[in-house]
Amino acid sequence: MAETFAAARALIQENICSLEPETVDLLNLVGRVVAEEICAPWDLPRWDNSEMDGFAVKSADCHTFAKLKVVGYIPAGAAAEGISVATGTAVRIMTGAPIPIGCDAIVPIENTESDKESVTIKRPVQIGDYIRFCGSDINAGEVMISPGTILRPAEVNLLASFSRLEVLVHRCPRVAILSTGDELVAPGEAVGPGQIIDSNGYSLAAAVSEVGAIPILLGIARDNIGSLTEKIAQGLKADVFITSAGVSMGDLDLVCKVLDGAGVKQLFWKVDIKPGRPTAFGLKDGCAVFSLPGNPVSSMIAFEELVRPALLKMMGQTKVFKPFVKAALTKPLYNETGRVRFLRVRVVESSTGLIAESAGDQNTGILSTMIRANAIAVLPADRTEFVAGEEVDIHLLNPEHVLDAGSAKVGNS
């Protein structure tokens, strides 16, 4: 019996967990998920410092057009020791330099006129002006990054600010990828009659890399027990093992049989989705095994909808399912499959919001429709008719690929 789409996703998520932490250096942290609580070891800023190039003054001295004697200079990187601001004096100071004793405000250079000996203040000054106070950003001991945080350049900046050279993050899964089929030849090899170039291995490796996991290409297994047994033994050493093809009803569809023989406990064999029905999921020790259909479009969509969220969970992420966005259909659609239907669509930004038009022939043999598509429309299994203008659930393949207002119009036929 086939699992529903929702049940298949739930079964996968329940049966995998985030991988153990590893230490990673500052340069390789972006996109990784933190596995420790990181507290600030000191205040940020570490000391009171100037927010502007200008003059350190006593605010009480600074009535408009006050003239002060310049008694010193503190460039960025210099210490303020031995320099102080007495009544009637000012110290020239650069952005980031420490505030000298006696100073309670900074006057930006653009609000002054000065020569070597003196400075005239042209605007009123308030106590505290343009001083970045010690700890005003982050206090020593404060939790600045919590477990589960996905690191972005901003967090990397913060870590570098505190000289954190290494962080504990969840390990990325090593994902073994196996193409199966007697008809397959590797890209670059001579193609004989009836032979097909193994494109799935590479598109799955690309999809794995895009998520941030580590692909390991195992090449091609032939449709016989010996070849499959050998390659499957290799694949089961990885954290995740993805096979393509050999899982439908053909005489030579032996993948699940050999996985069974290798001790993989299958949690499901089929999912009520189109495309992607013959997708199986199983477990062997620490390895999650996904057997995807051979058809390139089906394998890519099954990866997107079922495997990708699993890899994200293993990498420590908690929001692993792509959020749906809504887009209005440009034409009526039918889903008479009784399964969740994934349609390859083009989502276009229009004046009324997002609209979705079919990316072309939805036959799963048509790869070019996948190329034209920037999103997948997810139609529920329990409805058959969808009218033009109706908003449906959309998974954007890449949010940055949403197209600008183009030819598509709601209700266009």
Rounded to whole angstroms, how far apart are CA atoms 368 and 253? 26
Structure tokens at 385: 């008719």
Structure tokens at 149: 């945080």
Helix (H) or strand (E) holding 233: helix 225-235
Rounded to whole angstroms, how far apart are CA atoms 36 and 166? 11
Residues that bind Mg ion (CB under 5 A): 181, 245-246
Interaction of residue 199 with ligand AMP, rule CB under 6 A: yes
Nearer to ligand AMP, 71 or 196 (CB): 196
Minimum distance from residue 247 beta carbon to Mg ion (Å)? 9
Rounded to whole angstroms, how far apart are CA atoms 105 and 100? 10
Minimum distance from residue 278 beta carbon to ligand AMP (Å)? 7
Query: 């009544």: which residue's tokens?
Result: 87
Interacting residues with ligand AMP between 281 and 320 (CB under 6 A): 293-296
Rounded to whole angstroms, how far apart are CA atoms 311 and 172? 8
Q: Which of 104, 129, 155, 198 binds ligand AMP (CB under 6 A)?
A: 198
C-alpha distances out from residue 68 to 71, 257, 295, Å: 9, 89, 80
Minimum distance from residue 275 beta carbon to Mg ion (Å)? 16
Q: Which of 35, 68, 167, 184 binds ligand AMP (CB under 6 A)?
A: 184
Structure tokens at 19: 């991988």
Minimum distance from residue 302 beta carbon to ligand AMP (Å)? 12
Nearer to ligand AMP, 71 or 205 (CB): 205
Cis peptide before 108 (omega within 30 of 0): no
Interaction of residue 330 with ligand AMP, rule CB under 6 A: no
Residue 64: strand, helix, or coil: coil
Nearer to ligand AMP, 168 or 185 (CB): 185
3-state helix, strand, coil in the chain (%, to 5): 20, 35, 45
Interacting residues with ligand AMP between 33 and 62 (CB under 6 A): none
Q: Which of 39, 71, 196, 214 binds ligand AMP (CB under 6 A)?
A: 196
Measured from the Cβ of residue 302, the count of other Cβ atoms closer than 10 Å reads: 28
Contact 322, 398 (CB under 8 A): no
Q: Which stretch binds ligand AMP (CB under 6 A): 78-86, 118-126, 177-185, 264-272?
A: 177-185
Interaction of residue 381 with ligand AMP, rule CB under 6 A: no
Q: Which of 54, 173, 181, 309 binds ligand AMP (CB under 6 A)?
A: 181
Q: How many CA atoms lie within 13 A of 83 on its CB side?
A: 22
Nearer to ligand AMP, 214 or 252 (CB): 252
Nearer to Mg ion, 100 or 181 (CB): 181
Contact 392, 340 (CB under 8 A): no
Structure tokens at 200: 């799935």
Interacting residues with ligand AMP between 209 and 268 (CB under 6 A): 244-246, 248, 250
Which of ligand AMP, Mg ion, none is residue 196 near (CB under 5 to 8 Å by kind)?
ligand AMP
Binding residues for ligand AMP, per CB under 6 A?
Answer: 179, 181, 183-184, 196, 198-201, 244-246, 248, 250, 293-296
